[in-house]
Homo-oligomer: A and B are copies of this chain.
Amino acid sequence: MAKLVGKAVIGQSGGPTCVINRSLVACVEELRKAKQVTGIYGARHGVEGILGEQFVDMKGQSPTALAKLLDTPSAMLGSSRMKPKPDDCAKIFRVFKKHNVRYFFYIGGGDSAQTANIINELARGEHYEFRTFHIPKTIDNDLLINDHTPGYGTAARFVASAFQGDDLDNRALKGIKIDVVMGRHAGYLTAASVLGKLEADSGPHLVYCPERKFSFKQFARDVDRVYRRLGRCVVAVSEGINKGPKDTDLITAEAGEVLLAESARRELPRDSHGHPQLSGTGILADYLVFKARQALTPKYGKLRLRGDTFGYLQRSFPGVMSEVDAREATQVGRLAAKYALSADIDGSVIIKRKKGRRYAVEYGYLPLSKIAMGERPMPNSFINKAGNYVTKKFVDYARPLIGKMPKTGLLQAKPVRNK
């Protein structure tokens, strides 16, 4: 088979991760080796850059320059939240034809796979030989098919570390601490809060994921039970709890609660799907603190109660990369290029976990047309019956993904007997 000669375009899309540049660098390095690739264009801000023909030269990047990006969080080419409409996709395809782009790599979530597929179909329709690969990433870990997604391991490691530290802090000063974690539709990241626990009574003591109905009553009862036993309580809450049929359910559920009502009245920003923007505000944590205070103060009197929202640090904090995640992000970027260069195929790179006690993965791909739309919630078996904690099955699943944690430990000291 004659080699397909032409340019390659690579872009990054959606919420950045700490390892998305690993995929970028690995893909570019693989493409640089291939003579049939006459140019490597980086698209600035994903499809927006393609539509505006804003490309940067990635073929001219030296290995040294690329190496500097390996440990750098966030999407170096710029990212985009734009979901291109069919017209946009047609325009993108015209841009590709104009530049003789024959290879297209899009690093992103489920929407990016769809975009890649539409452009690929346009190329097929015109018998324009074209190879396109979707390179998966998302900190939410909610892509269908994949065992897990590059970006998740490092974000999960951040969350596990954050809760380890926060629990130690809360032991020292004793109180109730509520931390809100990213993940609107899936609880994977919130569940990762347990992965840094130093002993059974370490926090988080309660974990609420969006897969289960959230009840303020149960929440208050749960916190009370833990606080009564330990004199302290750390709670992990997903930003996506209590999504009802209407996205505003959480906000309207409890009439008269001014804080959330205010957020609606003030037109708290909404994303392109119309969901109220909960990341980037502290409103949910503050509200839960308020609810817990209301429920527990009559019983305990003055309480030390705090709420934190981990926010964008979860996906952008440098220096906490999971080495497993970094390796896999590299691998999916490299393989996308290899697959595309090897044969007339398109697809999305897939990570499968091998059976066996020792953690190991194998890679493959699925044709773009077979990538179904939608998000993957956590399986039921990862959340306990009461809906307020994770199961051992989740821990077994997620523990290998976060890599090595910092070496920390608790003081084991005998009390001195009083005279």
Contact string against B for A residues 35-70, beta-carbon threshold 8 Å, 1 for contact and 0 otherwise: 000010110010000000111111011000100110
A406 B56 Cβ-Cβ under 8 A: no
Give the complex CA separation of A53 and B415 in angstroms.
10
Residue numbers in B under 8 Å from A282 (CB-CB): 281-283, 285-286, 307-309
Give the complex CA separation of A58 and B316 in angstroms.
39
Question: A273 near B: Cβ within 8 Å?
Answer: no
Give the complex CA separation of A408 and B413 in angstroms.
41
Task: Select the residue from A68, A161, A169, A289 with max chain B CB neighbours within 10 A.
Answer: A169
Q: Which of B39, B55, B172, B418 contacts A74 (CB under 8 A)?
A: B172
B309 A164 Cβ-Cβ under 8 A: no
B258 A280 Cβ-Cβ under 8 A: no
Give the complex CA separation of A173 and B48 in angstroms.
11
Question: A313 near B: Cβ within 8 Å?
Answer: yes
Give the complex CA separation of A60 and B312 in angstroms.
43
Given known A172-B12, A413-B60, contact A408–B286 (CB-CB < 8 A): no
A165 B316 Cβ-Cβ under 8 A: yes
Residue numbers in B under 8 Å from A220 (CB-CB): none
Give the complex CA separation of A98 and B419 in angstroms.
9
Which one of A75-83, A187-195, A243-251, A379-387 is at the interface? A75-83
Question: A200 near B: Cβ within 8 Å?
Answer: no
Question: A377 near B: Cβ within 8 Å?
Answer: no
A166 B418 Cβ-Cβ under 8 A: no
Contact string against B for A residues 291-309, beta-carbon threshold 8 Å, 1 for contact and 0 otherwise: 0000000000000111111
Give the complex CA separation of A92 and B320 in angstroms.
43
A412 B161 Cβ-Cβ under 8 A: no
Q: Which of B76, B80, B165 contacts A318 (CB under 8 A)?
A: B165
Which chain B residue lies CB-closest to A52? B418
B415 A76 Cβ-Cβ under 8 A: no
Residue numbers in B under 8 Å from A73 (CB-CB): 165, 168-169, 408
A419 B313 Cβ-Cβ under 8 A: no
Residue numbers in B under 8 Å from A280 (CB-CB): 289, 305-308
Which chain B residue lies CB-closest to A269? B305
Give the complex CA separation of A303 and B418 in angstroms.
63
Residue numbers in B under 8 Å from A414 (CB-CB): 56-57, 60
A312 B416 Cβ-Cβ under 8 A: no
Q: Which of B61, B165, B411 contacts A69 (CB under 8 A)?
A: B411
Residue numbers in B under 8 Å from A168 (CB-CB): 16, 72-74, 76, 316, 318
Residue numbers in B under 8 Å from A262 (CB-CB): 258-259, 262
Give the complex CA separation of A266 and B62 in angstroms.
58
A16 B173 Cβ-Cβ under 8 A: yes
Question: A197 near B: Cβ within 8 Å?
Answer: no
Question: A315 near B: Cβ within 8 Å?
Answer: yes
Residue numbers in B under 8 Å from A165 (CB-CB): 18, 73-74, 312-313, 316-318
Give the complex CA separation of A277 and B303 in angstroms.
13
Given known A282-B309, A313-B310, contact A410–B74 (CB-CB < 8 A): no
Q: Which of B39, B69, B258, B311 contacts A409 (CB under 8 A)?
A: B69
A316 CB to nearest B CB, Å: 4
Given known A306-B312, A309-B311, contact A318–B164 (CB-CB < 8 A): yes
Which chain B residue lies CB-closest to A259? B262
A72 B306 Cβ-Cβ under 8 A: no
- What are 30 residue pairs bridging A and B, where the CB atoms are less than 8 Å apart in the complex? A16-B169, A41-B416, A42-B413, A54-B415, A56-B413, A60-B414, A65-B411, A65-B412, A72-B408, A73-B165, A73-B168, A74-B165, A74-B169, A74-B171, A78-B171, A161-B319, A166-B312, A166-B313, A169-B312, A177-B312, A259-B259, A269-B305, A280-B308, A281-B282, A281-B307, A282-B282, A309-B309, A318-B406, A318-B408, A320-B320
